[in-house]
Amino acid sequence: MTNDTVLQIEDLKTYFYTEQGEIPAVDGVTVSLQRGKVLALVGESGCGKSVTSYSILRLIRPPGKIVGGKILFFPSDGVEPVDIAGLDETSDALYSVRGGHISMIFQEPMTALSPVHTINNQISEAILLHQDVTPAQAREMAIEMLRKVGIPGAERRIDQYPHEMSGGMRQRVVIAMALVCNPEILIADEPTTALDVTIQGQILKLIKDLVSERGTSVVFITHDLGVVAQVADDVAVMYLGRVVEKSDVRGVLKTPLHPYTMSLLQSLPGLGHRGARLPAIRGSVPNLTDIPPGCPFHPRCPHAVRGRCDVGDRPALRTFSNGGQAACVRVEEIHPHVHEVGHSNDPRVAPATV
């Protein structure tokens, strides 16, 4: 952790208790977000990315529960850090953090927006909850924020309902709601998944502008490493509830260490695949009620060795000479140019701050 850390997640565990048993959706995640930077959480569906983001804002509902770890928020005003995981669910401190200091862009705008309230009602509610202003002032602030996120005719659009807008417009409204209280941290949960390429580019540019102009720190959740290349500073790759690789964005894209990250990159479309079948990761993400022994990726891994990768506990995150971290026992064999330079006594916690 450095002095520029704005969010530090330490050994976070969020489990769901169902008829099938205990499901470790997030099982010992340790990552940190630097002030004014973008941290990307990457992985396939079911790897724990969204559950991690919901845990940060304490939005986990039964049968889910945060059962361990810390979520430390370091406000810019220099006061003592706040352990969000330890706050009472009905406390004023939690309501102050949620929406005031940390906001979220939800994945699907039609479920994030109320269909029976106008855009003004929904954005103004967030303003009135966290700021001491009149309804008229809140309306003007909402209009100004709609302008900033690129919605034309904001004075007219403010009184419309979500169904009267396109998907791209609704996503911009959700972003406006998240930004209207000028949060220090923005959590973007796959904000471009349902958008066409043109609108996707506009949303990504908007997020990058927020970082450069406002100094906003962003947790960006996606399964698309192509998007990561455009927006992220640091990357944490997740698989079955744990981080399997961490590095800066250049390290992950140029010299990925974990076979899962390598497979994700190889499955991206590119000019090199013209006329050939696009490589795909074989199989699918295992059920969390039946996690394979050893490295959970071994049934799908092209580098797995029987009797080594499929036995024992999950591999620990280790730090390597290229500055990255990976949870794989065969890193040095797959990448002879790197070697281990650090080791964590706890197999779930890595010493680096990415």
- Domain-embedded: residue 213: no
Domain final residue pick, 138, 158, 182: 182
Last residue of a domain, one of 182, 203, 221: 182
pLDDT in tens, 192-225: 776 777 778 888 888 888 888 888 999 999 988 8
Given 161, 182, 203, the domain boundary residue is 182
Q: Is the pLDDT of residue 190 over 90?
A: no
17: pLDDT strictly greater than 90: yes
Count how many residues are written for the chain.
Answer: 354
Task: Supply the pLDDT for residue 349.
Answer: 38
- Mean pLDDT along residues 17-30: 94
**Helix, strand, coil fractions of the chain, as percent rounded to 5:** 35, 25, 45
* Residue 249 pLDDT greater than 60, yes or no: yes
Looking at per-residue confidence, does 6 or 277 come out higher?
6
**Any domain includes 42:** no
pLDDT in tens, 106-125: 877 777 899 999 999 999 99
**Interval 328-354 mean pLDDT:** 70
CA distances from 140 to 97, 103, 144, 152 (A): 24, 20, 6, 15
Task: Write out the residue range of the structural domain in which residue 291 sits.
Answer: 256-271+278-343
Q: Is residue 94 part of a domain?
A: no
Measured in whole angstroms, how far is the alpha carbon of residue 16 from the centre of its chain?
19
The two beta strands, 234-239 and 38-42, are parallel
**Residue 133 in domain:** yes
Cis status, amide bond into 152, omega within 30 of 0 = no
| C-alpha 124: how far from chain center | 26
Q: Where does the pLDDT of residue 272 fall: very low under 50, low under 70, confident under 90, or very high at 90 and above? A: low
What confidence category does residue 269 fall into, taking pLDDT thresholds of 50, 70 and 90?
A: confident
Q: Is residue 149 part of a domain?
A: yes
Residue 33: pLDDT over 90: yes
State the pLDDT at residue 343: 53
Q: Quick one: CA dihedral 116, 120, 123, 127, positive or negative?
A: negative
Q: Is pLDDT at 2 greater than 70 in this prediction?
A: no
Q: Do 71 and 7 contact (CB within 8 A), yes or no?
A: yes
Note the pLDDT tens digit of each residue in 290-317. 899 999 999 999 999 999 999 999 999 9
Residue 194 covered by a domain? no
- Could you give the strand order of the β-sheet that contains 185-189, starting from the edge strand earlier in sequence? 102-105, 185-189, 217-222, 38-42, 234-239, 242-248, 325-326, 318-320, 340-343
226 assigned to some structural domain: no
| pLDDT bucket at 342, cuts 50 / 70 / 90 | low
pLDDT confidence band for 167 (50 / 70 / 90): confident
Specify the pLDDT at position 352: 45
Handedness of CA 149, 153, 154, 159 (dihedral sign): negative
DSSP for 50-119 reads HHHHHHHTT---TTEEEEEEEEEE--TT-PPPEEGGGS-TT-HHHHHHBTTTEEEE-S-HHHHS-TTS-H
Q: What percent of the chain has a predicted confidence (pLDDT) above 90?
A: 64
Q: Is the pLDDT of residue 321 over 50?
A: yes
Q: How many domains, in total, are found in the chain?
A: 2
Encode pLDDT of 227-245 as tens digits. 899 899 999 999 999 999 9
How many Å apart are CA 189 and CA 203, to the nearest integer? 13
In a domain? residue 296: yes
Q: DSSP string spanning 209-234? A: HHHHHH--EEEEEES-HHHHHHH-SE
